[in-house]
Amino acid sequence: MIDLQRRGLVMAAGGVLAAGAVNPGWAASTGRKLGYAIVGLGGYGLGRIIPQFQNCQHSRLVALVSGDPAKARKVAQEYGVPERGIYSYSDFDRIRDNPDIDIVYICLPVFMHAEYTIRAAQAGKHVMCEKPMAINPAECEQMIAACRKAGKKLMIGYRSRFEPHNVEAIRLARAGAIGNLRYFRSEHGFVVGDANTWRMKKAQSGGGSMMDIGIYALQAARYMTGEEPVAVFAKETTNRSDPRFREVEDMIDFQLEFPSGAIGSCMSMYSANRNQFVLMGDKGRIELEPATAYSGQRMWVGQERSDKTEVKPPPGPYANQWVGQLDHMAQCVMQNREPLVPGEEGLRDIRIIEAVYRSAREQKRIVVQS
């Protein structure tokens, strides 16, 4: 009986909104594929992004930018990138003369995001930039201005926005499946083993777990509630005698205050593996765990007085979240539409993170600048 009611709830909600209202549908493809240059052949660019082009309908790999010529040549051979598509950081600006390159995807340590986004825009290319967008809001604003001046699009690599469980969770929440939203809770963390990675150097990363993994909780708090926080309160705890945490924070617990009265409560950490969120409404709740991992997402929907039921989302239009991200940007460029997660979205997170850090430092509630 309860199960039927719950299924009824979910199905009824399914009828209210078309999926496209949340993750916009697009006009039929032109069949054309836009060319991407991947900047940075680190673990993410090389291990996660480059292998996905074979699954894309609108994106292809045409160039590589690396400080290691031998590595670049090897990757180029493996993925069929022509010799003319191999660049170093010193001759990066020559991408201007390569008509194969439509979009430059910045997969560099955070402190290099602004410089290479701006140089890419000045070279007449559209830009996809990994999150966190940059070290601070001022850099984000410069990146947005540079792309605007060049008449080029800028998108931030928030892959979860293209992951089917997250897309379906947003749809259910907006459709009223759990009533009025009251409370969002998320824990995000992973264990950093290497004290010498750029992530642990404040000048290169901009900060610790909050910039790197806490940002997933923050993003999810915003896309799940559909609201912008007006104020934050945060408390940090870091074992400074741990060699990993000489410069950046380990754990930070932050509370978000939304205009409707809904509360966001999040924990970010570099010392434990956690990846989940719960959105609670006055009629039920939606849980994801893992929520924003590379794979394995699971989702449950429940009413507050009863158990929860696992819900499988409908398959999305893309093979996976990375393909969604790459093809969405390519479609935006081809159809001259604004990306779902433009530079302004990345700036918004960095502004809130700045307020989180300030709250933790000053130990008071900080109003977020809008």
Q: Which residues are catalytic?
A: 131, 216
Nearest distance, CB of residue 193 and its own copies, angstroms: 9
How far apart are CB 139 and its own copies at their closest, in Å? 30
Binding positions for its own copies, 24-83, rule CB under 8 A = none
The strands making up 299-302's β-sheet, listed across from edge to edge, are 308-310, 299-302, 285-288, 274-281, 181-189, 263-269, 251-257, 231-237, 366-367
Please choose, out of 18-26, 33-41, 121-129, 227-235, the segment that lies near its own copies by the rule CB under 8 A. 227-235
Write down the least CB distance from residue 42 to its own copies, Å: 22
Q: How many residues bind its own copies (CB under 8 A)?
A: 33
Instruction: Indicate whether 235 belongs to the interface with its own copies (CB under 8 A).
Output: yes
Q: Residue ranges of the alpha helices (H) in the chain?
A: 2-16, 43-44, 69-79, 113-122, 137-150, 164-174, 202-205, 209, 215-225, 321-335, 343-362
Helices (H), 28-68: 43-44
Please select the residue that binds its own copies; options are 6, 126, 165, 285, rule is CB under 8 A.
285
212 near its own copies (CB under 8 A): no
CB 365 within 8 A of CB 230: no
Q: Does 228 bind its own copies (CB under 8 A)?
A: no
Which of 169-177, 179-187, 200-208, 209-217 is the region at the interface with its own copies (rule: CB under 8 A)?
A: 179-187
Q: Does 363 bind its own copies (CB under 8 A)?
A: yes
Helix (H) or strand (E) holding 186: strand 181-189
Which of the 8 DSSP states describes residue 144? H
Q: Which is nearer to its own copies, 104 or 220 (CB)?
A: 220
**Binding region for its own copies (CB under 8 A) out of 31-39, 60-68, 145-153, 251-259:** 251-259
CB of 213 to its own copies, least distance (A): 14
The residue with tokens 């390519």 is 330
Neighbouring-strand partners of residue 366: 232
The nearest distance, CB 166 to its own copies, in angstroms, is 22
Assess 221 for contact with its own copies (CB under 8 A): no
Nearest CB to its own copies, comparing residues 255 and 309: 255
Point out which span in 4-12, 31-39, 46-54, 237-245 binds its own copies (CB under 8 A): 237-245
Sign of the Cα pseudo-torsion (48, 51, 56, 62, in order)? positive
Binding mask 299-338 for its own copies (x = CB under 8 A): -----xx---------------------------------
Within a 13 Å sphere around the CA of 115, how many CA atoms are in the beta-carbon half?
Answer: 11
Indicate if the alpha-carbon torsion angle 254, 136, 368, 275 is positive or negative.
Answer: negative
CB 192, min distance to its own copies, A: 11
- Lookup: tokens for 359: 């709250």
Opening angle at CA 23, ends 19 and 29, nearest 5: 100
Among 166, 205, 219, 271, binds its own copies (CB under 8 A): 271
Contact between 273 and its own copies by CB under 8 A: the answer reads yes
CB of 348 to its own copies, least distance (A): 21
Question: What gap in Å lies between CA 49 and CA 81, rounded to an integer?
Answer: 14
With 0-12 / 13-18 / 19 or more C-beta atoms within 10 angstroms meaning exposed / middle / buried, residue 264 is buried
The two tokens of residue 95 are 């991408």
User: Which residues contact its own copies (rule: CB under 8 A)?
Assistant: 180, 182-183, 185, 187, 191, 231, 233, 235, 237-239, 251, 253, 255, 257, 261-263, 265, 267, 269, 271-273, 280, 282, 285, 304-305, 363-365
